[in-house]
Chains A and B, each alone.
Chain A
């Protein structure tokens, strides 16, 4: 199993709820990522943090709010989501953002989110 953990594994929420997804990596990596995986679609990069600093916001709606308190932890705060936001949310980490060839991203198991 990978050194990236995510909680919760499943989440059902209403459109008016506020919830948070948590990710933790035990690999000593410096970069962490949030991806959205929808059925029959490629992975969509949402946010990137490198050394706790956000270096990418891939035009993600403000109802998704990331937080990275340190290089090992990453959160995704959710509020006022829409049903089309239902998807598998994956966290990943890598040794060094921008490390070039060989900077492999390792994924967590994901949080299956359902928005009612």
Chain B
């Protein structure tokens, strides 16, 4: 079946270093992708999105890369801070024009002081 998966369930990064969180998706027709951050005890928070007609999009300290050839999505966080510690998961919209997103299980990012 269709799935959105993550290569690493837990990622530990030294404070100040860059973080890269990966996501694989299976539906080549997906045209919209979102990265969410979920801190302990909170709901998912929108970080950044990207449409399939782009391969890169930058936000404040975050960059999302989309490689449609290998159906791979990544989230890069520059100069990782303690406040970045959270679970990050991606979501894909496999059918344009619908609300049915497929969500990944998430990667836990731990920032080491």
Docked pose: A48 CA to B76 CA in angstroms: 32
CB of B67 closer than 8 Å to a CB of A: no
Would B46 and A104 count as touching, CB distance under 8 A? yes
Could you say which of B13-21, B78-86, B98-106 contacts chain A? B98-106
- Residues in chain B near residue A48, CB distance under 8 A: 99
CB of A106 closer than 8 Å to a CB of B: yes
- Residues in chain B near residue A102, CB distance under 8 A: 32, 49, 51
Would B42 and A109 count as touching, CB distance under 8 A? yes
Docked pose: A101 CA to B34 CA in angstroms: 10
CB of A76 closer than 8 Å to a CB of B: no
Would B31 and A101 count as touching, CB distance under 8 A? yes
64-100 of chain A: CB within 8 A of chain B: 90, 94, 97-100
Would B104 and A45 count as touching, CB distance under 8 A? no
The secondary-structure label for the interface of chain A is loop
Docked pose: A49 CA to B60 CA in angstroms: 32
Would B97 and A98 count as touching, CB distance under 8 A? yes
Would A104 and B34 count as touching, CB distance under 8 A? yes
State how many residues of chain B have any CB contact under 8 Å with chain A.
Answer: 26
Docked pose: A108 CA to B97 CA in angstroms: 23
Partner of A103, one of B4, B42, B44, B99: B99
Would A101 and B32 count as touching, CB distance under 8 A? yes
Closest-CB distance, A76 to chain B (whole angstroms): 15
Query: Per-residue CB proximity of A22-64 to B under 8 Å, as 1/0?
Result: 0000000001010000001111010010000000100000000
Known: A102-B32, A104-B49. A109 touches B96 (CB 8 A): no
- Residues in chain A near residue B104, CB distance under 8 A: 42
Question: Beyond the given A45-B101, A104-B34, could you list 7 further A-B residue pairs with CB under 8 A, ordered by the A residue number?
Answer: A45-B100, A99-B97, A100-B93, A101-B51, A101-B96, A104-B46, A110-B43
Q: Residues of A at under 8 Å CB distance from B?
A: 2, 4, 6, 31, 33, 40-43, 45, 48, 56, 90, 94, 97-110
Q: Residues of B at under 8 Å CB distance from A?
A: 4, 31-32, 34, 36, 41-46, 49, 51-52, 89, 93, 96-105
Question: What are the nearest 9 A-B pairs in CB distance?
Answer: A107-B43, A101-B32, A43-B103, A42-B103, A100-B97, A109-B43, A107-B44, A110-B43, A101-B51
